[in-house]
Amino acid sequence: MSTYFNEMIERGAVRPPYARLQGWVDQMPAELRNLKQAEAEALFRRIGITFAVYGEGGDPDRLIPFDMFPRVFSAQEWFRLERGIKQRARALNAFLADVYDRGEIIRAGRIPGRLVYLNEAYEKAVAGIRPPKNVYSHIVGIDLVRTGPDEFFVLEDNCRTPSGVSYMLENREIMMRMFPELFSANRIQPVEAYPELLRRTLASVAPEKCTATEPNVVILTPGHFNSAYYEHSFLADMMGVELVEGQDLFVEGEFVWMRTTEGPRKVDVIYRRIDDAFLDPLCFRPDSMLGVPGLMDVYRSGGVSICSAPGAGVADDKAVYTFVPEMVRFYLGEEPILQNVPTWQCAKADECQYVMENLADLVVKEVHGSGGYGMLVGPKSTKEQIEAFRHKIEADPDNYIAQPTLALSTVPSFVEEGVAPRHVDLRPYCLVGERIELVPGGLTRVALREGSLVVNSSQGGGVKDTWVLAE
Amino acid sequence: MRLFVEHVTTYTYDQPVRGVVQSHRLLPTQCQNQLTHRWNVTVSDGMPGGSFRDGAGDTIQAWSVRGPVDRIEVRVTGEVTTTDQAGVLRGNREIIPPVAWLDETLPTRPDAALKELAAKAESPTALGLAHELSALIAGAIAYRPGATDAHTTAAEALALGEGVCQDHAHALIACARLRDLPARYVSGYLFTDSDGKPHEAAHAWAEVWIEGLGWVGFDPANACCPDERYIRLGCGMDATHAAPIRGTARGPGSESMEIAVAVAATQQ
C-alpha cells in the first residue's frame, strides 16, 4: 500500500501544508477524540444534515460519517487546481453553447455527432435558444482524484445540479466550532462566501425580459422526500431566497409567477434541483407532477432563466467526458491543465476487446450510472464477480466504459485504531455566470473502509473538511 | 393553390378550472412550400405568452387563460398559397441536425414486426427506401378511423393492421429510423376535394431526411408525397411532440375537446 501518495506524509516527513496538524493529532488523547467525534455527530444530527451525497439514494435519514481530520491544500497547489477547474468549466459551457447552436466541434470532426445528438441528455427543445450570458451550466461540480504531488485527474464532470456543497459549508462550520484553535494556528481561506456568490451568479443570468435591479431568484425542489431536500432548504436559507415546489409556481402571460400571501410575484431565475424530464409536462414528460406547465415556453422566450439550462447534461455524460480535453483545445485554444483519466469505450470493438482482456486491472462503469453502483473494481473483485460482469458488458457493450485503477491519494483519517491513511477524492463547485467564481475548497469524500477505493457514501464513504491555506 | 383554413378547437370542463396554459405550434412553417397571407389565432379570454422559433424552425406561441373558466375556444383562420415542391421541404430555417432525428420515442419504438417490415425495403438509394417503406406501411395498416386512439404506438397499429394518419406516420418514422434514415412527425392541414375519401382536414405525415435533397415528406395514408394540398405547421419526434396544441388546465375539472377543421381552396 506504500505506492499510494499520502498527502500528509511523504518519505517519512510531514508535507508543509499539514505541518501544524501533526502536533494537533499528537496532543489529542483518544478519549478527547471520541468525545469530539460524538459532539460532531450530535451537531450534524441537530442541523439535520443526513441526506445522501450526490443523490445516490439509500436511506435519506442516515448520517454520513464525518471524519474530523481535515484535508489540506497549499495555496500553490490550489492555484493550479483553480485554473484547471475554471478552464474546464469554461470549455464545458462553450461546448453546450455550440451543440445547441451550429455544432462547430462536430462539423470540425472533433466529436462524433451521434454521441452528442443521440445522447439521452441532448434536448431538442432548447436547440437554437440562447440562454442569458450564453451560460448553460451555472454550477459545475468537477470530481477530482490525486495520484501524486502534482498529479490530478478528473473523474467526471457534473454540469446539471451537483449536490454536496452544503457538506462543504457544514463541515467547515462544525470544524470551526469544535476546533477554533486550529483556525487561529492555520491560515485557512474561508468558504463561507459560497451562498452569496451563488446568489450573485444566479442573479447575473436574469432573463432579457427582467427589468428589476434585484432579480427574484428561487430554488425549485422536488419536495421533502428528495434525498437532497436538506441541501435545497439550506441553500435557500443561506441565500435568502424562496424555496418552492412546482405547485407554488404557475405560468401566466409571458412570465412565471410564485404564489405568495401578498399575491403573485414574478420569478426571474429558477435554480432548479429537479431533472429536465420533470420540468414542464407541456414540453417533456406529460405525466410530471413536479414541474410547472408552460415553463419551457417562458424560458425559451426569455421570460425566466433556468439554472442549469435544460439539456446541460449532454456535457457531463460519461461517453462525452472523453472529449473534454478536446473541447478545451477547440474552444479555448489552450492545453488542458487537468487531465482526464484514460477511458476505454466498450462501444468501440477494439477498446472493448482490451477491456475484456484486462478486466482484473480495470474499473468498469455504466455510462449513465452514478453513486458507485453497477461498477466493477477489477483488483478488488473475485473471479466470479469479474466473470459475471463480463457477461453484462457482452450483453450491452455500449453501456460501459473502463478506466485504469487509479492509485488514489490518501489523507490521514480517524479510524477505530487511531489515525490511518484513507483514500479521498474532491469535488469543488465552480460558479459560472457573468463571471467565473470558485471558493477555495470543496467536498472531500473519504473511503473509510481500509483499502477501499470507493468514496461513495452508499459504499461506506465519509466526508472531511477541505482546507486551502493562504500564502 | 390558395387555401383557406378555419380550425376551431373547443375545450369544455365539467367544472370551472383555475387556469389554462397552452403551447401552440399553429403557424404555417415559414418555407418556400407555402406563403402565408393572413393568419390569425385567437384564444377566448386568452393572454398571449412568449413566442419564439424553435430549433426545428417551428414558431411556438404560448397562451394562458386566467380562471375560473369552463370553456375555451382556440380559433385559427388563415389564408396560404402553396406550391408543389415534390414533397421536399425548402427554405425552412432549422438548427437541429438531421442525425438528432434518429432517436426513438415510445410511440415510434420498433418491435419485431416493425423490424421485419423495415427490412423488406430493398432499394439501393435512400429516396427509394423511403418510398418503399411508405408503400409497405400503407399496405400493412389500412386506413380506418376509430381503430386506434391518440396513445396507440406504431407497433400496436401494425399488429392491428388498421389505423389513421398518426399511426401511418409513426410506423414510417420507426421504419425509416431502423434503416438509419432520420425521420420526424409533421402536423398540418390537408385540403381534400370531394374525392369521396373520408380524410380529415387536420392531418399528419412523416418527413424523412434524404441526403442531398433534405427533408422529404411522405404521406402513407394517401400514398403520396405532400404537394400543394398540404399546409405544414410543425414537426416533432412523434405526435405528442409535434402537436399543434399542447395544454393543461389547473383544477380538478375533467376536459372534453371538440375539433372542427375546414380547408377550402380556390384554384389560381
Ordered per-residue pLDDT tens for chain B, 268 residues? 999 999 999 999 999 999 999 999 999 999 999 999 999 999 999 999 999 999 999 999 999 999 899 999 999 999 999 999 999 999 999 999 999 999 999 999 999 999 999 999 999 999 999 999 999 999 999 999 999 999 999 999 999 999 999 999 999 999 999 999 999 999 999 998 755 554 578 999 999 999 999 999 999 989 999 999 999 999 999 999 999 999 999 988 889 999 999 999 876 5
**Mean pLDDT across the stretch A64-74?**
94
CA–CA separation, A411 vs A424, rounded Å? 7
CA distance A294 to A272: 15
Domain count, chain A: 2
Question: Are B93 and B186 members of one domain?
Answer: yes
Rounded mean pLDDT, A135-148: 97
C-alpha cell at A419: 489515525
A295 and A385 belong to one structural domain: no
Residue A395 lies in a domain: yes
How distant is the Cα of B180 from the closest Cα of chain A, in angstroms?
A: 12
| Together in a domain, B97 and B191 | yes
**Cβ within 8 Å, pair B100-A122:** yes
Number of domains within chain B: 2
Final residue of a structural domain among A389, A404, A419: A404
Half-sphere exposure (CA, 13 Å, Cβ side) for A201?
Answer: 27
Residues with Cβ within 8 Å of residue B105, at least 6 apart in sequence? B237, B238, B240, B241
Residue A137 has pLDDT above 50, yes or no: yes
Q: Are residues A245 and A304 in the same domain?
A: yes
Q: β-pairing, A242-244 with A217-220? A: parallel
A104 contacts chain B (CB < 8 A)? no
Phi-psi region of B21 (alpha: psi -120 to 50; beta: other; left: phi over 0): beta
Instruction: Identify the pLDDT of residue B197.
Output: 55
Question: What letter would DSSP give residue B224?
Answer: B
Q: Are residues B147 and B114 in the same domain?
A: yes
CA atoms within 13 A on the CB side of A190: 9
Angle at which helix B126-140 crosses helix B165-178, to 10 degrees, equals: 140
How far apart, in whole angstroms, are the C-alpha atoms of residue B118 and residue A341?
Answer: 41
Residue B84: DSSP 8-state? -
- If asked whether residues B56 and B89 sit together in one domain, one would say no
Residues A17 and A76: their CA atoms lie apart, in Å, by: 10
CATH code of the domain covering residue B24: 2.60.40.2250
Element (H or E) spanning B248, and its range? strand B245-250
Does residue A286 sit in the same domain as residue A386?
no
Residue of B217 and A317 predicted with greater confidence: B217
- Going by C-beta distance under 8 Å and a sequence separation of 6 or more, which residues neighbour residue B16? B67, B68, B69, B70, B251, B253
Q: Domain limits at A392?
A: 342-404
| Residues B49 and A253 sit within 8 Å (Cβ to Cβ) | yes
Query: What count of other Cβ atoms lies within 10 Å of the Cβ of residue A389?
Result: 18
Q: Which of residues 297-326 of A touch B (CB under 8 A)?
A: 297-298, 300-303
Instruction: Tell me, yes or no, whether B71 and B90 share the same domain.
Output: no
Q: Is residue A444 part of a domain?
A: yes
For residue range A1-19, what is the model confidence (pLDDT) as tens digits? 448 999 999 999 999 999 9
Note the ipTM here.
0.95
| B190 DSSP β-pair partners | B230
| Nearest CA-CA partner of B127 in B154, B162, B87, B92 | B87
> Contact, A164 vs A427, CB < 8 A?
yes
Q: How many CB pairs under 8 A join A and B?
A: 107
Domain with residue A383: its CATH number is 3.30.1490.270
Interchain CB contact of B55 with A (< 8 Å):
yes
Task: For A299, name the nearest residue in chain B, comparing CA atoms only.
Answer: B50
* Same domain assignment for residues B104 and B229: yes
Range of the domain at B65: 2-81+245-266
Distance between CA atoms of B122 and B128, rounded to whole angstroms? 8
With beta carbons under 8 A apart, name residues in chain A contacting B56. 124, 127
Looking at residue A1, its pLDDT comes to 43
Confidence band for A455, pLDDT divided at 50, 70 and 90: confident
| pLDDT at residue A134 in the model | 96
Query: Is position A4 within any domain?
Result: no
pLDDT band of A370, cuts 50, 70, 90: low
- Any idea what DSSP says for residue A457? G
CB distance B27 to B35 below 8 Å: no
For B82, the grid coordinates are: 402553396
Last residue of a domain, one of A404, A434, A451: A404
Domain shared by B187 and B119, yes or no:
yes
Closest CA to B150 of B222, B24, B235, B240: B240
- Sorting pLDDT into bands at 50, 70 and 90, what band is A372? low
Say how far residue A443 (Cα) sits from the centre of its chain: 9
B53, burial (CB in 10 Å: exposed 0-12, middle 13-18, buried 19+): middle
Q: Is B129 in the same domain as B251?
A: no
Same domain for A30 and A63?
yes
pLDDT at A225: 85
Cβ distance of A300 and B250 shorter than 8 Å: no
pLDDT of A54 strictly over 70: no
Q: What pairs with residue B263 in β-bridges?
A: B5
Cβ contacts of residue A170 below 8 Å, gap of 6+?
A: A44, A47, A49, A234
Considering just the CA atoms, what is the radius of gyration of chain B in Å?
18
A179 contacts chain B (CB < 8 A): no
More confident residue, A83 or B192: A83
Q: Is A106 on the interface with B (CB under 8 A)?
A: yes
Q: Are residues B102 and B70 in the same domain?
A: no
Instruction: Find how far residue A116's CA is from the centre of its chain.
Output: 21
A58 and A151 part of one domain: yes
* Whether A388 contacts chain B with CB within 8 A: no
- A366 and A457, same domain (yes or no): no
Is B90 within 8 Å of B101 (Cβ atoms)? no
* Residue that finishes a domain, picked among A404, A431, A453: A404
Q: Is residue A13 part of a domain?
A: yes
